[in-house]
Structure 1
Amino acid sequence: MDPSQFEKMFAQANSIMGPFADMILQTARFPPANGEALVVLDQACGSGVVSSHIMSRLYPEDKARLDLTCADISEPAITQMRRRIEASGWNNARAVTNDAMSSDFPSSHFTHIFFNFGPQILPDPIAGLKECHRTLRPGGVLGLSAWQVVPWAADYRAGIATDPSLPAFPTSDQLRYAFSSTPEKWDTIHDVTKHLEDSGLTAIAASSMDNTTTMTIAEVEAMLPYSLDMMIQKFWTKEEVEKFKVPATKAIVSYLGEKYGTGPVVWKWVAVVACGKKE
């Protein structure tokens, strides 16, 4: 991916996930006013939404005490993240390839770990939370978010359903476990709170929040190669993907045009935002 494409992807990701990143930082009361070192992990950093919000909310004296690690299992994401760090002049940050369920980070190392929409994409989310617990210092804080409502799924499903020749788009229950191989649910405050407790965290605060975005149909079409492909690769056969991806894209864009007309595509995203503390 060239830098311009990456910046467009970041801008779109930030419009959707940025408010949740801010809410995670607020819920975690970051940065603390104690003047101590901030040794922070942005886990499953992706395009760097959380890291950019960390940097934007810190005063110079806070940045002076920051040591930021951006980690992701995707090497392409880390390559782009390294470019962002260099271009932004974040001298106190680094980007590393990392498996969130089994990292080589030292135990009791980080003061804060932020995991924006991370657990749900892990094959074993609880293993990821326990790894966070292991690598947090005593008194350290984990902040995370988990989707409750991802609005594009309903529109994509309805669009594909307009063409009977296309394979079905996955159901809501299928999407819930698109990446995870374990049975935990993540779309209620109760469930997220329990998972944090089961991972050894205390002083848990959790709430639900929403973010409404407006996009043009062209902007939605631009995100289809990522959002649609991510799902059909999981649920359609290789032959179905090759044969039906283009017709599916056309069906979705046509449906959006009929539903929203010349107006914007208005989507309401809802998520649980939570944090917990390691004793």
Structure 2
Amino acid sequence: MSNTPAQVISKQFQNAQGSSTHAASKKMMRLLAAPLLSQMGLTRDVTAPVQFLDNACGTGVMTQEMQVILSRDVLEKSEFVCTDSSAAMIDAVKGRIGTEGWVNVLARVADAMDTGLPESAYSHVAVGLGLHLIPRPDDVLKDCQRVLKDGGIFGATTFPTRNRDIFWGPDIRAAFDSMPFKAPYPEDFPVQTHSSGKWYDEDWVAGHMKEKGFKDVRVTVNPGKYFVENVQEFVDFFGGMIAFLVNAWWSEELKRQHGVEEVKGLVRDFLEKKYGDEGWEITWEVISVTGRVEK
């Protein structure tokens, strides 16, 4: 293994591109974001303008949903900022702002651990599926507290440990096991790529947020499901995870013998034998945590 899982996932995010990521955002990832936004009080009932920071935004899933949830009148009086350390992700968001007609949205490259954004400027800050991946999550919390207004709401999602036994895991593990060569798959797939805390443990998350000074901390575990239309959609949506497994756990020699595209093809072949032309349902759990800032 030439790179750590943290190094591999960081490199993939920096170089992420393609329409499949966009499609996953609109069809599947929105379902992972919805419970958090509701828990943050961001529903169709909102009538006051918001100043919303989509931090470590990826393809802008949180902002995408805000543009649907809020009325046009509220959108026109609100401010939305998308930040990510990946220039490729920000370019994708900028493209979406134009093609999808997002209202009052700005996108810029910024490190979630130190955004450089104005102090006390935002009513809401969301970090979707980031705190278990970003190397120094407590720095993220500190910066979010800094940029939130007094009374502002912070929200984040992470994955619990048991999520590795559902979602995309069983199908890809079975596909790896079926390959005509030894295809390494980690026995205990890490849902967290750093050693700072236990963001996969909802009880720990609740206690840690309180320790960091957040008020009215609420942590929920939300089940979700998505019907995968066909094998190609599965490979498109989770091809990044296949690449992650190969690049993080396979030797350089094995990667030379069997590249990522070949492995994706073998996964596709396995799933076509298993499901044929039919779709199937995948399920997951996501931890949603919210807290209020007092200044």
Report TM bin, short chain: 0.7 to 0.9
**Which residue is equivalent to 1:154?**
170
**Which residue is equivalent to 1:102?**
114
> Residues 171-214 of structure 1: CA distance to partner in whole angstroms, max 9, x if unpaired?
33x4223x32x242222321221232233211012211122112
Match of 2:141 among 125, 129, 132: 129
**Higher mean Cα deviation, 32-41 or 236-245?**
32-41
**Within the alignment, does 1:278 sit opposite 2:293 as a pair?**
yes
Cα distance change of structure 1 residues 44 and 143 upon mapping to structure 2, 3 Å threshold: same
* Whole-angstrom CA distance in 1 between matches of 2:134 and 2:254: 25
> Residues 132-153 of structure 1: CA distance to partner in whole angstroms, max 9, x if unpaired?
1122111000111111215212
**Which residue is equivalent to 2:29?**
17
Residue 91 of structure 1 deviates from its aligned partner by 4.5
**Which residue is equivalent to 2:9?**
none
* Whole-angstrom CA distance in 2 between matches of 1:88 and 1:261: 34
Task: Give the TM-score taking structure 2 as reference length.
Answer: 0.83
Cα distance change of structure 1 residues 22 and 246 upon mapping to structure 2, 3 Å threshold: closer
**Which residue is equivalent to 1:227?**
241
Task: Give the TM-score taking structure 1 as reference length.
Answer: 0.87
SS at the partner of 1:107? coil
**Which residue is equivalent to 2:201?**
188
**Which residue is equivalent to 2:5?**
none
SS at the partner of 1:176? coil
* Whole-angstrom CA distance in 2 between matches of 1:41 and 1:239: 43
CA contact (8 A) 1:207 1:272 kept: yes
**Within the alignment, does 1:268 sit opposite 2:283 as a pair?**
yes
* Whole-angstrom CA distance in 2 between matches of 1:166 and 1:260: 23
Residue 79 of structure 1 deviates from its aligned partner by 0.7
Match of 2:268 among 222, 245, 253: 253
**Within the alignment, does 1:211 sit opposite 2:227 as a pair?**
no
Paired residues, number: 272
SS at the partner of 1:171? coil
**Within the alignment, does 1:144 sit opposite 2:156 as a pair?**
yes
Residue 7 of structure 1 deviates from its aligned partner by 4.3
**Within the alignment, does 1:43 sit opposite 2:58 as a pair?**
no
CA contact (8 A) 1:141 1:275 kept: yes
* Whole-angstrom CA distance in 1 between matches of 2:30 and 2:91: 21
CA contact (8 A) 1:157 1:169 kept: yes
Match of 1:236 among 244, 250, 267: 250
Cα distance change of structure 1 residues 240 and 184 upon mapping to structure 2, 3 Å threshold: farther
* Whole-angstrom CA distance in 1 between matches of 2:272 and 2:101: 42
Residue 130 of structure 1 deviates from its aligned partner by 2.0
Residue 225 of structure 1 deviates from its aligned partner by 3.4
Cα distance change of structure 1 residues 89 and 217 upon mapping to structure 2, 3 Å threshold: closer
* Whole-angstrom CA distance in 2 between matches of 1:89 and 1:233: 37
> Residues 51-81 of structure 1: CA distance to partner in whole angstroms, max 9, x if unpaired?
1110111112211221100011110110111
* Whole-angstrom CA distance in 1 between matches of 2:252 and 2:44: 49
Unaligned runs of 5+ in 1: none
Residue 257 of structure 1 deviates from its aligned partner by 3.2
**Within the alignment, does 1:175 sit opposite 2:190 as a pair?**
yes
Unaligned runs of 5+ in 2: 1-16
* Whole-angstrom CA distance in 1 between matches of 2:70 and 2:190: 36
* Whole-angstrom CA distance in 2 between matches of 1:252 and 1:32: 41
**Which residue is equivalent to 2:68?**
56
* Whole-angstrom CA distance in 2 between matches of 1:241 and 1:265: 30
- Describe how 1:29-40 pairs up with structure 2 within 5 A: 29-30=41-42, 36-40=48-52
One-letter code of the match for 2:187?
T
